Structures are given as C-alpha cells and as structure tokens.
C-alpha cells in the first residue's frame, strides 16, 4: 500500500554533521531531501567538505529508491528519514538512515535501518547494509549512530522498534570490526507494555563506558501520560546494560505560531546530549516547567559521574517571554559549551509572515551564559508541513578547533519552490563574551524552575502534545 501525503520538492530538513578527528577541515553531513507531509523524504543526501565547510560536494547514497536503492541492493524503500552521521577515531565516517514503504502497520508495509561507511572523508561510500528489515508488524524509528571515540573498531547503532499496540523498545546493533559486519540487533531496554522509548543516542565516556540516552513516554492505564529523559549504561562495550537511570521529567507543550496559532512540529520529547573531554555530560530539551506550562523554554542538565546523577534543570534561552524550540548541544575541545535553538521573539500576533531566528548560547562553566545570533529572521510559514511547520525533529551542532559549526535548516523567504535548505554557520565564542556571526552577544541569566504544581489545564496541554508526538510516529498516514 503506497503512503499518502504531499511531497515538498526541494524541501531539505533534519540535518546531522560530524567532523573528522584526523582532519578537522573534513566535515560530513546528511539531511532529508524532498520531505513528505506524512513522514520521511524521497531520500537522504550526504555532503562532504574538505575546507571546513566553505564548499561542499553532495552525493546520493542508495538508502532508498530515489537515491538508487532497489531490491538487488537492499534499498527497495519508498522513503528515507532520520539521517545521522559519525566519525570514528580512525577517520572512518558512518551514515545511518531510517527507511520505509507504505503506511505503518498496514499490510505490505515495511521499515528498516540502513548504514553505510566511508574511508575517504565522505568522497565515496560503501554499499549500505540493512541492520534490520521488518514487515508490517513493526515500525523502526528515530535511529542514531555513534563511532566509539576510544576504539576505532566499535560502532553503535540505536533506535526504537514499535509494535502495533504502541509499545516500543530500545534496539542496538553493534559492529566490532569498523562497520564491515554488524551483530544482529537486540533490545537493550524495554519500558513495559504500552510505553515507548524514542530518540535513543549513544555517547561513549573517556573510560569506555557506553551511555545510551533516550526519552520514555509512559501511558498508564488510568492516569495521565508522562515523559522523562533516561539513560542506560554498559561497561563492557554494549554487551550488557544497566537498569534505567532517570535524568529528568519532561514537560513539553505544543509549539504554535504567534500569528495564527497553527502548530509547529518541534523536537517534542527528544533530548540532545553532548560531553566534554573529562566525560561530563550535558543534555538539553524543550520544557514548559519554567513558565508553569505557558510555553517551552530550553532546559539543560549535566552529569559529572557518567549519567548516574544529574543536576536540576535550568532554563538558558535568553528571551523567556517567547517560545524556544529544537535545542541542540555541543562541547568544544576547550570545554566551551554551546546550545542552539529557534525562537519567535521577532514574530508578532498580527504579522502576515512568521519571522523566526536561530540562536546560540555558550558558557565555560554551565552557570554563566551568553547568547549570540546565528541566523534569521526567516519566514517559517513556508516550511514543509508534517504535523505542523517542520524543519526537523532535531538539528546539528559540531565543533572544529575554536569554531562551533551550527548545521541547521531554515526557509528561503518567499521561495515556495525551494522552501528550505541546510546551512552551516561559523562562530568562535569564548563562552563568556561570545561574538556572533550577525549580532553582538549579551548575557543570559539561567532560571531555575519552581517546584512543579500541575494544573488541569497544563496537564491537558501535556497530554495533547504527547498524543500528537505518538501519532506523528505512524509514518505514511495522513496527519
């Protein structure tokens, strides 16, 4: 059964970027090309740069039919989504994508996860391998890939595998020979019947401990839905895993446009995790606890003991009177922390367009922050639609030397035939007195949240948003 929906030709969204540790001028990125309104895109494109991001060579890797996939090479899928890239310490690049055909769980539908690797900085790629290929009984979703920075032979791919009764587990496939072969996938965490995991991402600590971070949506039989950030740990390179560790409760409400109240598809419950050289972990996400449910701000928490315990969340977006969404974290080699995000501070209720800006806050100590302007304003109103205006469930942020590299989607003002593109920006903030590409920086005072006192209205908004997030995972269906 073919999937339904509208395709946004030339609509590029949801980018991922990685930097070659052997050659910091070598960047590899991936993104969705021609986004559909019902999930996925015609294909995933890969771009490589050998001059630090100034110029790029783009290429198709046959993850799906549009980019050369067919029954003979394992890529006979209508659409691809959720691109993710990672460099190993030996300079091998890995690219991973979700692939699917048809309407989720309908007869004849299928989904899987595919991985390719490059040993020449992204100039050429291996034939993609299927880590998993399922029929209509399962939906594989929201994958990521991490090359172990402590061992060039180890690579971890994680995702969630959803059943028709809305239950999903965290799946892992592992390579111990640099991506030549892959072990059979297996579940590493099961949240229980009717509950889901989503947004699984692996980080590897300097001592080799593997940490998989994800969101868990719990759907009790006779109680309100709940969402939380959690982690599981492995001290034997992914062979065995700990019980889940709670990072923080999540309270994301829907993002809507100031001018019309239309929905914006944001990162929802997804967290973005990064670590510094010492192994301190940082995670950022959207949360409404700082405004008692009125709007989402950017929350951040950190762990100095390998994900065992976490600090209380604080809000770090500068303009707390407007909605901020899709935060992304990174830590530079010198320890400067950065978080990028979109917000609506320049939009008005009466406006005919939707001015949206991309920002970055930086800090050297996770206590004092400065904000700088990355890009905008651009008109979000012309973005592809998928459960709302959509630039991606996530964006990307890398670093090379003293430079942060935001890698993000934005619209092309007034150009509906080319609604969105992927951009890279270059910023070299010190963390205390950041200088931005287009505006002077200013100080941000982090805000701690008051104890959560949930009201009926706030709980209703949370329930509605979590229900929307769960619906949006059913690929190929009308929204």
Q: Tens digit of pLDDT for each residue in 351-386?
A: 789 999 999 999 999 999 999 999 999 999 999 999
The pLDDT value given to residue 280: 98
Tally the domains of the chain: 2
Decide if 67 is inside a domain: yes
Query: Are 170 and 34 part of one and the same domain?
Result: yes
**Model pLDDT, residue 167:** 95
Same domain, 317 and 384: yes
Angle value at C-alpha 221, between 216 and 225, nearest 5 degrees: 40
Residues of the chain short of pLDDT 70, as ranges, are 1-2, 429-441
Can you say whether residue 472 is alpha, beta or left, with left for phi > 0 and alpha for psi between -120 and 50 degrees?
alpha
Give the end of a domain, one of 214, 239, 264: 239
Structural domain includes residue 246: no
According to the model, what pLDDT value does residue 217 have? 97
Residues 235 and 284 in one domain: no
Cα–Cα distance between 358 and 434 in angstroms, integer?
Answer: 15
Same domain, 272 and 373: yes
Asked whether residue 160 falls in the same domain as residue 275, the answer is no
271 with 191, same domain: the answer is no
Same domain, 173 and 285: no
Same domain, 147 and 295: no
- The residue among 193, 310, 290, 285 whose CA lies nearest residue 469 is 285
Q: What is the DSSP string of 357-382?
A: EEEEEEESSSSSEEEEEEEEEEEGGG
**Residue 18, beta-bridge partner list:** 28
Instruction: Give the domain-ending residue among 186, 217, 239.
Output: 239
Residues 235 and 263 in one domain: no
Measured torsion, CA atoms of residues 436, 437, 439, 443, in degrees rounded to the nearest 10: -10
pLDDT attached to residue 429: 66
Tokens 């800006």 -> residue = 357
Q: And the tokens for 459?
A: 């709980």
Whether 120 is in a domain gets the answer yes
Distance from C-alpha of 424 to C-alpha of 395, rounded to nearest angstrom: 11
Q: Has residue 304 been placed in a domain?
A: yes
Task: Tell me whether residue 420 is in a domain.
Answer: yes
Q: Which residues contact 185 (CB under 8 A, 6 or more apart)?
A: 113, 131, 132, 161, 171, 172, 173
Q: What is the CATH number of the domain that holds 87?
A: 2.120.10.10
**Residue 38 in domain:** yes
Final residue before a domain boundary, out of 239, 259, 287: 239
Going along 39-89, which residue ranges are E strands? 41-49, 57-60, 79-87
Q: Which CA distances in Å does 30 have to 52, 97, 391? A: 15, 9, 14
Q: Are residues 328 and 446 in the same domain?
A: yes
pLDDT at residue 431, as a whole number? 46
- pLDDT in the model for residue 2: 65
Range of the domain at 465: 251-472
- pLDDT in the model for residue 433: 34
How many other C-beta atoms are found inside a 10 Å radius of the C-beta of residue 163? 14
Q: What is the pLDDT of residue 226?
A: 94
Long-range contacts at 447-455 (CB < 8 A, ≥ 24 apart): 447/290, 447/297, 447/314, 447/315, 447/320, 448/312, 448/314, 448/315, 449/287, 449/289, 449/290, 449/312, 449/313, 449/314, 449/315, 450/289, 450/292, 452/249, 452/251, 452/289, 453/292, 455/292, 455/293
Flag whether 220 is in a domain. no
Q: Is residue 90, in this structure, part of any structural domain at all? A: yes
Are 89 and 166 in the same domain?
yes
261 shares a domain with 234: no
State residue 4's pLDDT score.
85
| 136-153 tens-digit pLDDT | 999 999 999 999 999 999
Burial of 113 (0-12, 13-18, 19+ CB in 10 A): buried
Q: What is the token pair recorded at 225?
A: 């839905």
pTM for this predicted structure = 0.95
């Amino acid at each position: 059964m073919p999937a339904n929906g509208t395709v946004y030709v030339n609509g590029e969204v949801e980018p991922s970027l990685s930097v070659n540790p052997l050659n910091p001028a070598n960047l590899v990125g991936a993104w969705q090309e021609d986004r559909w309104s019902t999930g996925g895109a015609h294909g995933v494109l890969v771009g490589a740069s050998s001059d630090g991001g100034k110029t790029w060579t783009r290429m198709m890797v046959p993850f799906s039919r549009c980019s050369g996939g067919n029954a003979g090479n394992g890529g006979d899928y209508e659409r691809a989504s959720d691109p993710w890239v990672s460099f190993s310490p030996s300079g091998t690049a890995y690219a991973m994508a979700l692939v699917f055909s048809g309407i989720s769980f309908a007869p004849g539908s299928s989904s899987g996860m595919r991985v390719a690797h490059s040993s020449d900085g992204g100039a050429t790629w291996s034939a993609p391998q299927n880590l998993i290929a399922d029929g209509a009984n399962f939906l594989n979703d929201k994958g990521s890939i991490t090359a172990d920075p402590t061992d060039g032979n180890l690579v971890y791919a994680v995702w969630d595998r959803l059943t028709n009764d809305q239950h999903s587990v965290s799946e892992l496939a592992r390579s111990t020979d640099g991506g030549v072969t892959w072990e059979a996938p297996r579940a590493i965490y099961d949240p229980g019947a009717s509950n889901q995991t989503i947004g699984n991402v692996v980080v590897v600590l300097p001592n080799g401990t593997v940490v998989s971070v994800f969101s868990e949506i719990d759907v009790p039989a006779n109680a309100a839905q709940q969402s939380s950030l959690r982690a599981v740990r492995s001290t034997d390179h992914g062979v065995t895993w700990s019980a889940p560790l709670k990072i923080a409760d999540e309270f994301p409400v829907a993002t809507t446009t100031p001018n019309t109240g239309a929905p914006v598809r944001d990162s929802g419950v997804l967290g973005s995790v990064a670590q510094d050289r010492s192994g301190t972990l940082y995670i950022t996400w959207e949360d409404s606890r700082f405004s008692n449910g009125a709007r989402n701000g950017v929350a951040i928490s950190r762990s100095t003991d390998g994900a065992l315990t976490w600090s209380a969340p604080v809000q770090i977006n500068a303009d707390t009177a407007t909605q901020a969404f899709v935060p992304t974290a990174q830590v530079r080699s010198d320890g400067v922390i950065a978080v990028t995000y979109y917000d609506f501070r320049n939009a008005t209720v009466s406006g005919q367009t939707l001015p949206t800006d991309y920002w970055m806050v930086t800090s050297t100590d996770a206590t004092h922050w400065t904000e700088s302007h990355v890009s905008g304003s651009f008109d979000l109103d012309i973005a592809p639609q998928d459960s709302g205006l959509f630039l991606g469930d996530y964006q990307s942020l890398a670093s090379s030397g003293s430079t942060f590299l935001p890698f993000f989607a934005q619209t092309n003002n007034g150009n509906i035939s080319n609604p969105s593109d992927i951009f890279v920006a270059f910023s070299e903030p010190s963390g205390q007195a950041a200088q931005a590409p287009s505006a002077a920086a200013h100080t941000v005072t982090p805000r701690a949240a008051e104890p959560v006192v949930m009201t009926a209205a706030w709980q209703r908004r949370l329930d509605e948003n979590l229900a929307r997030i769960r619906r949006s995972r059913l690929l190929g269906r009308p929204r």
